[in-house]
Amino acid sequence: MGIFPMADDEGRISWYSPDPRAILEHADLQVSRSLRSVVRKGTYVVRFDTAFERVMRECAAPRTDERGTWITEEFIETYTTLHHHGFAHSVEAWHGDMLVGGLYGVSIGAAFMGESMFSRMPNASKVCLVKLVERLQARDFQLHDTQFLTPHLERLGAKLISRDEYTRRLQQSIQVPCSL
Protein backbone atom coordinates (compact mmCIF):
# COMPACT_ATOMS: atom_id res chain seq x y z
CA MET A 1 0.00 0.00 0.00
CA GLY A 2 3.02 2.29 0.10
CA ILE A 3 2.89 3.08 3.81
CA PHE A 4 5.48 2.26 6.43
CA PRO A 5 5.59 2.44 10.23
CA MET A 6 7.89 4.67 12.23
CA ALA A 7 7.98 5.50 15.93
CA ASP A 8 8.06 9.11 17.10
CA ASP A 9 10.21 10.52 19.93
CA GLU A 10 7.84 9.04 22.54
CA GLY A 11 7.84 5.60 20.90
CA ARG A 12 4.32 5.89 19.42
CA ILE A 13 4.09 4.16 16.07
CA SER A 14 2.53 6.05 13.19
CA TRP A 15 2.13 5.24 9.51
CA TYR A 16 3.83 7.31 6.82
CA SER A 17 3.47 7.72 3.07
CA PRO A 18 5.64 10.67 2.07
CA ASP A 19 4.89 12.70 -1.01
CA PRO A 20 7.24 12.90 -2.76
CA ARG A 21 8.83 9.50 -2.10
CA ALA A 22 12.53 8.70 -2.42
CA ILE A 23 13.70 5.82 -4.58
CA LEU A 24 17.00 4.62 -5.98
CA GLU A 25 17.05 3.67 -9.64
CA HIS A 26 19.74 0.98 -9.74
CA ALA A 27 21.22 2.30 -12.98
CA ASP A 28 21.63 5.71 -11.30
CA LEU A 29 23.69 4.49 -8.33
CA GLN A 30 26.59 6.92 -7.95
CA VAL A 31 29.74 5.08 -6.89
CA SER A 32 32.73 7.36 -6.39
CA ARG A 33 36.19 6.25 -7.43
CA SER A 34 37.22 5.91 -3.80
CA LEU A 35 34.17 3.78 -2.96
CA ARG A 36 34.72 1.67 -6.07
CA SER A 37 38.29 1.10 -4.86
CA VAL A 38 37.09 0.00 -1.41
CA VAL A 39 34.64 -2.45 -3.02
CA ARG A 40 37.28 -3.79 -5.41
CA LYS A 41 39.93 -4.22 -2.67
CA GLY A 42 37.56 -6.31 -0.59
CA THR A 43 38.10 -4.17 2.50
CA TYR A 44 34.91 -5.66 3.91
CA VAL A 45 33.41 -9.11 3.51
CA VAL A 46 29.75 -8.60 2.61
CA ARG A 47 27.17 -11.16 3.66
CA PHE A 48 23.40 -11.34 3.34
CA ASP A 49 21.03 -12.40 6.10
CA THR A 50 23.61 -13.75 8.57
CA ALA A 51 23.11 -11.20 11.37
CA PHE A 52 19.70 -9.64 10.83
CA GLU A 53 18.85 -8.74 14.42
CA ARG A 54 22.36 -7.44 15.09
CA VAL A 55 22.09 -5.14 12.08
CA MET A 56 18.77 -3.80 13.37
CA ARG A 57 20.23 -3.20 16.82
CA GLU A 58 23.21 -1.36 15.33
CA CYS A 59 20.84 0.76 13.24
CA ALA A 60 18.88 1.50 16.42
CA ALA A 61 21.96 2.66 18.35
CA PRO A 62 21.96 6.44 18.82
CA ARG A 63 24.11 8.40 16.41
CA THR A 64 26.19 11.34 17.52
CA ASP A 65 23.95 13.81 15.68
CA GLU A 66 20.60 12.42 16.89
CA ARG A 67 18.71 12.34 20.18
CA GLY A 68 17.18 8.90 19.88
CA THR A 69 15.95 6.27 17.48
CA TRP A 70 12.67 5.33 15.87
CA ILE A 71 13.71 1.65 15.91
CA THR A 72 12.09 0.38 19.09
CA GLU A 73 12.17 -3.12 20.60
CA GLU A 74 8.74 -3.67 19.07
CA PHE A 75 10.18 -2.90 15.64
CA ILE A 76 13.11 -5.24 16.20
CA GLU A 77 10.80 -8.08 17.24
CA THR A 78 8.38 -7.49 14.36
CA TYR A 79 11.02 -7.16 11.64
CA THR A 80 12.89 -10.18 13.00
CA THR A 81 9.67 -12.16 12.59
CA LEU A 82 9.41 -10.84 9.01
CA HIS A 83 13.03 -11.96 8.51
CA HIS A 84 12.21 -15.48 9.73
CA HIS A 85 9.40 -15.58 7.16
CA GLY A 86 11.70 -14.46 4.33
CA PHE A 87 10.45 -10.88 3.89
CA ALA A 88 13.05 -8.83 5.78
CA HIS A 89 16.72 -8.98 4.86
CA SER A 90 20.05 -7.65 6.03
CA VAL A 91 23.27 -6.87 4.23
CA GLU A 92 26.32 -6.89 6.49
CA ALA A 93 29.87 -5.58 6.16
CA TRP A 94 32.38 -7.56 8.19
CA HIS A 95 35.95 -6.60 9.00
CA GLY A 96 37.46 -9.77 10.38
CA ASP A 97 34.93 -11.01 12.89
CA MET A 98 33.51 -7.55 13.56
CA LEU A 99 30.21 -6.34 12.13
CA VAL A 100 31.14 -2.81 11.00
CA GLY A 101 28.29 -1.79 8.74
CA GLY A 102 24.99 -2.88 7.36
CA LEU A 103 21.50 -2.17 6.24
CA TYR A 104 18.13 -3.88 6.35
CA GLY A 105 14.86 -3.73 4.51
CA VAL A 106 11.80 -5.60 3.34
CA SER A 107 11.26 -7.26 -0.03
CA ILE A 108 7.91 -8.10 -1.57
CA GLY A 109 7.91 -9.35 -5.11
CA ALA A 110 10.35 -7.22 -7.12
CA ALA A 111 10.23 -4.33 -4.64
CA PHE A 112 12.84 -3.68 -1.94
CA MET A 113 12.03 -1.15 0.77
CA GLY A 114 15.16 0.00 2.57
CA GLU A 115 14.64 0.79 6.23
CA SER A 116 17.92 1.85 7.84
CA MET A 117 21.69 1.57 7.62
CA PHE A 118 24.68 2.01 9.93
CA SER A 119 28.43 2.27 9.62
CA ARG A 120 31.17 1.83 12.23
CA MET A 121 34.03 2.04 9.73
CA PRO A 122 34.48 4.29 6.67
CA ASN A 123 32.25 3.36 3.71
CA ALA A 124 30.99 0.13 5.31
CA SER A 125 27.29 0.88 4.79
CA LYS A 126 27.97 2.24 1.30
CA VAL A 127 29.70 -1.01 0.35
CA CYS A 128 26.62 -2.86 1.59
CA LEU A 129 24.41 -0.67 -0.59
CA VAL A 130 26.58 -1.28 -3.65
CA LYS A 131 26.44 -5.04 -3.09
CA LEU A 132 22.69 -4.91 -2.47
CA VAL A 133 22.10 -3.00 -5.69
CA GLU A 134 24.23 -5.52 -7.60
CA ARG A 135 22.12 -8.36 -6.19
CA LEU A 136 18.81 -6.59 -6.81
CA GLN A 137 19.81 -5.86 -10.41
CA ALA A 138 20.91 -9.46 -10.99
CA ARG A 139 17.55 -10.69 -9.71
CA ASP A 140 15.47 -8.21 -11.72
CA PHE A 141 14.10 -6.13 -8.85
CA GLN A 142 12.14 -3.19 -10.24
CA LEU A 143 11.72 -0.81 -7.29
CA HIS A 144 14.14 0.26 -4.56
CA ASP A 145 12.33 2.44 -2.04
CA THR A 146 14.51 4.57 0.26
CA GLN A 147 11.46 6.29 1.80
CA PHE A 148 13.05 9.69 2.48
CA LEU A 149 15.72 11.57 0.57
CA THR A 150 18.67 12.26 2.83
CA PRO A 151 21.80 14.10 1.64
CA HIS A 152 23.68 10.79 2.00
CA LEU A 153 21.24 8.91 -0.26
CA GLU A 154 21.03 11.79 -2.72
CA ARG A 155 24.83 11.69 -3.19
CA LEU A 156 24.45 7.98 -3.97
CA GLY A 157 21.85 8.68 -6.66
CA ALA A 158 18.48 8.50 -4.90
CA LYS A 159 15.75 10.79 -6.22
CA LEU A 160 12.20 11.86 -5.48
CA ILE A 161 9.08 10.75 -7.32
CA SER A 162 5.43 11.58 -6.64
CA ARG A 163 3.38 9.36 -4.35
CA ASP A 164 1.14 8.51 -7.31
CA GLU A 165 4.13 7.39 -9.39
CA TYR A 166 5.51 5.46 -6.42
CA THR A 167 2.20 3.71 -5.77
CA ARG A 168 1.85 2.76 -9.45
CA ARG A 169 5.37 1.33 -9.56
CA LEU A 170 4.91 -0.45 -6.24
CA GLN A 171 1.70 -2.16 -7.37
CA GLN A 172 3.45 -3.37 -10.54
CA SER A 173 6.61 -4.58 -8.86
CA ILE A 174 5.01 -6.53 -6.00
CA GLN A 175 3.25 -8.70 -8.61
CA VAL A 176 6.60 -9.88 -10.05
CA PRO A 177 8.08 -12.95 -8.33
CA CYS A 178 11.63 -12.24 -7.09
CA SER A 179 13.74 -13.39 -4.21
CA LEU A 180 16.69 -11.74 -2.57
- Quote the CA–CA distance of 25 and 145 in Å, as a whole number: 9
For residue 63, give the amino acid letter: R
What pLDDT is recorded for position 122? 96
Q: Could you say which DSSP state residue 70 is in?
A: S
Residue 161 parent element (H or E): strand 159-161
Rg of the chain over CA atoms, in angstroms? 16
Residue 107 parent element (H or E): strand 98-108
* 18-173 under CATH 3.30.70.990, yes or no: no
Which of left, alpha, beta for 123 (phi over 0: left; psi -120 to 50: alpha)? Answer: left
Contact 26, 173 (CB under 8 A): no
* Residue 156 burial (CB count, 10 A): 20
- Quote the CA–CA distance of 145 and 114 in Å, as a whole number: 6
From first to last of the 180 residues of the chain, give the pLDDT tens digit: 899 988 777 778 889 999 999 999 999 999 999 999 999 999 999 999 999 999 999 999 987 665 556 788 989 999 999 999 999 999 999 999 999 999 999 999 999 999 999 999 999 999 999 999 999 999 999 999 999 999 999 999 999 999 999 999 999 999 999 999
What pTM does this model have?
A: 0.94
Contact 118, 111 (CB under 8 A): no
